[in-house]
Amino acid sequence: MGTLSERILNGTAGEYVDRAVDRAYVHDGTGVLTLEAWKSMGERRLRDATQLHVLFDHIIPANNSTTATLQHELREFARSSFLHFSDIGGGICHQIMSEGIVLPGEVVVGADSHSCTLGAFGAFATGVGATDMAAIWMTGETWFRVPESIGMHLSGTLTGAAEAKDLALTYVSRLGMDGASYQSLEFIGDGTAALSMDDRLTLCNLAVETGAKAGMFYADDVTVQYLATAGHAVKPQEPEPCKYIQEIDFDLSDIVPVIALPPRVDTVKPVHVLVGLPLDQVFVGTCTNGRYTDLARFARIVKGRNVAIRTIVVPASRAVLQEAIRTGVLASLVEAGCTIGTPGCGPCLGAHMGVLGEGEVCLSTANRNFKNRMGVGGEIYLSSVATAAASALEGEITEPEVA
């Protein structure tokens, strides 16, 4: 008997455990640091690369010669060591790992804070630093303090123009940016059944914005069906009686479109309070909202019209881009005046492909709006895809219409 975290880590909350890692991955930024740390430990050859992934996504294409050189070195190492490797245009590491790789019950570790995204599959997924990842490269395992868990009890269904992103921002605002430090958010209750895998990925993605170690859903029929399309036959995870450090109730029918104000993810207001705020840029994408369903929703709203300000859309992966091409979603976006970026993180971290200028304001579907994140002196507001689409058409924050 125990929480999902306790069951997967095979320990009780507060206990320290050593566990084998089922999937470990780095991106072009953290991979460079991991490789350096691994070499400093005296290693020259990986003993087992079968579950190790190197996925280029953060600064691709390279933004300068220094970045290009570092990426070249990591690229050559990944290829020569037979790691699973995704080069430029493959997509965001978390998204690629969600496309039929991560399975329920696994221990998944990524060298990126938003690795918690993959808890949507009923896995224990969390982020670590480069030194810890280097040790995983060496040994295939790592240590954890089993986290206490918060039961995020969901009931009802989302209504009106509200989306999973609105629910995510709402729960971050309720918990605060350190309200779940080193705890696991476990999404439970009848309301989970109506949430798609894409919804769940969005909700788990923002868990770290509360300080949480992980965000998790129990694998259910939705999970089973999703993974079946990728050729995996998995079984649902049945919840057991367990002890949560606290339980928080969310009636999904009460969720409304909201926006997080800079520079904090937990400072959230309903969209209608901010209507009319002028914008310079809209950015749609990232590991939070760059999936095909996000692009398709945005395209439905802007189709046949023209965006009023520069609007950057970056698919989360090559698979997402291919589906958008196949279904005509990409054509609708381009015809509406959107700029399409290389699959990856895009301007989310302020490296390139949409950096803000001094005093500029961006409405983004990303997960962070910290000061100077997308450019020195720029301001970032966070919203759902529907709110971003409605606002792009008007050039100012605008309430989305009910679909």
> Which residue ranges make up each domain of the chain?
1-256, 258-394
- β-pair partners for 20: 141
Answer for the pair 295, 311: CB distance below 8 angstroms, yes or no. Answer: no
The DSSP string of 85-138 is EE-TTSB-HHHHHHTTT--TT-EEEESSGGGGGGGGGT-EEEE--HHHHHHHHH
Give CATH superfamily name and number for 1-256: Aconitase, domain 3 (3.30.499.10)
- Please check the confidence at residue 403 and state whether its pLDDT lies above 70: no
CATH (residue range 258-394): 3.30.499.10
The DSSP string of 38-73 is HHHTT--S-S--TTEEEE--TT-S-SSHHHHHHHHH
Of 88, 71, 110, which is closest to residue 346 (Cα–Cα)?
88
The structure's pTM equals 0.97
Model pLDDT for residues 294-333, shown as the tens digit of each residue? 999 999 999 999 999 999 999 999 999 999 999 999 999 9
Question: 1-256 with 258-394: one CATH topology?
Answer: yes
Summarize the confidence of residues 219-240 as an average pLDDT: 97
Prior bond of 263 cis (ω within 30°): yes
Model pLDDT for residues 8-33, shown as the tens digit of each residue? 999 999 999 999 999 999 999 999 99
Model pLDDT for residues 43-94, shown as the tens digit of each residue? 888 878 899 999 999 999 999 999 999 999 999 999 999 899 999 999 999 9
- β-pair partners for 224: none
Query: What is the spatial distance between Cα 88 and Cα 346, in angstroms, rounded to a whole number?
Result: 12
- β-pair partners for 42: none
Task: Give 329's Cβ-side CA count (13 Å radius).
Answer: 23
- Mean pLDDT, the chain, rounded, equals 97
